[in-house]
Amino acid sequence: KTKAFIFDLDGVIVDTAKYHFLAWQKLAESLGINFTHEHNEELKGVSRVRSLEIILGLGNVEATQEQKDEWLVQKNEDYLQYIDKMDDSEILPGVMKVLEFLKSNQQPIILGSASKNARPILEKVNILHYFDDIVDGNDVSNAKPDPEVFLVGANKANQPNENAIVFEDSVAGIQAANIAGMMSVGIGEASVLNEADVVFNNFTEITEEFLRELINK
Ligand code: B16
Ligand code: MG
């Protein structure tokens, strides 16, 4: 049988959250805003524009749209410098095995990410060719937990929503998959991702048997 396997990028395939953090922290510091690792958790799966609003809110900083646009450009330029140095050693453990298994079983593999930098990152870590389609922050206007990114993804794979399986590390992403009527697979802590249909700490815990069952369901 054929299903649609949809992967989030940041926190699922690669750990770019640390680079987002460094770039946001630099900006926050220049504005006199205290921005910690804990605050960064709230930005996972959240769009760039919304992330800036959250950070400005932390410091009660108000700004014009023009100023905000300038900061967004600055943050992204810093972020791009970090991801420029990425290579395939930054692919998270177990991911390659899962991608290989799905490919050898002719299953559609789709990227469903909020990031506008998804393509260059996949290129950097050398796995762009595994993906049959990419749906990212450039293609959708509604951010997770809105299901738009995953609905477009399943559609590109020519599969009904109930045939889609979504791998996500963020609460907003799990909610988006659930709203879309897709199977949600959480990657991370079960206590945080408690709305997911099933949770794994990482991809090394996902067996071929589990994937085979999903395909044949
Ligand atoms: P960019 P994902 C998300 O990626 C990140 O989790 C989130 O922290 C980031 O703000 C967002 O992409 C936008 O990224 O600034 O590169 O467009 O988890 O949906 O793959
Ligand atoms: Mg993510």
Closest CA to 136 of 153, 119, 156, 113: 113
What pLDDT score was predicted for residue 26?
Answer: 98
Contacts of 183 (CB under 8 A, 6+ apart): 164, 165, 166, 177, 197, 198, 214
ipTM above 0.90, yes or no: yes
Give the pLDDT band (50/70/90) at residue 149. very high
Active-site residue flag, 10: yes
User: What tens digit of pLDDT does each residue of 125-145 get?
Assistant: 999 999 999 999 999 999 999
What pLDDT score was predicted for residue 139?
Answer: 97
Peptide bond into 145 cis (omega under 30): yes
Helix (H) or strand (E) holding 168: strand 164-168
User: Rounded CA gap, 124 and 5, in Å?
Assistant: 22
Which listed residue (8, 133, 139, 197) is catalytic?
8
Q: Please give the average per-residue pLDDT across 27-56, as a whole number.
A: 94
User: Rounded CA gap, 170 and 153, in Å?
Assistant: 18
Contacts of 69 (CB under 8 A, 6+ apart): none
Q: Which residues pair with 6 in a beta bridge?
A: 110, 166
The sign of the CA dihedral 154, 158, 162, 165 is negative
171: buried, middle or exposed (CB in 10 Å: 19+, 13-18, 0-12)? buried
What pLDDT score was predicted for residue 203?
Answer: 98
Atom of ligand 1 nearest to the CA of 45: 6
What pLDDT score was predicted for residue 41?
Answer: 85
User: What tens digit of pLDDT does each residue of 169-215 get?
Assistant: 999 999 999 999 999 999 999 999 999 999 999 999 999 999 999 99
What pLDDT score was predicted for residue 183?
Answer: 98
pLDDT, mean over the chain: 97
Q: Please give the average per-residue pLDDT across 42-56, as a whole number.
A: 94
Closest ligand to C-alpha of residue 11 is 2
Burial letters for 93-114: b for 16+ Cβ neighbours within 10 Å, e otherwise?
A: ebbeebbebbeeeebbbbbbbb
Query: Residue 1 pLDDT > 90, yes or no?
Result: yes
Ligand 1 centre distance from Cα of residue 130 (Å): 20
User: What tens digit of pLDDT does each residue of 58-113 get?
Assistant: 999 999 999 999 999 999 999 999 999 999 999 999 999 999 999 999 999 999 99
- For ligand 1, mutation pick of 20, 52, 90, 169 (most atoms within 8 Å of CB): 20
Q: Cα–Cα distances in Å, from 53 out to 39, 43, 67, 99, 190?
A: 13, 10, 12, 35, 28
What pLDDT score was predicted for residue 112?
Answer: 98
Would you say 65 and 42 are in contact if contact means Cβ atoms under 8 Å apart?
Answer: no
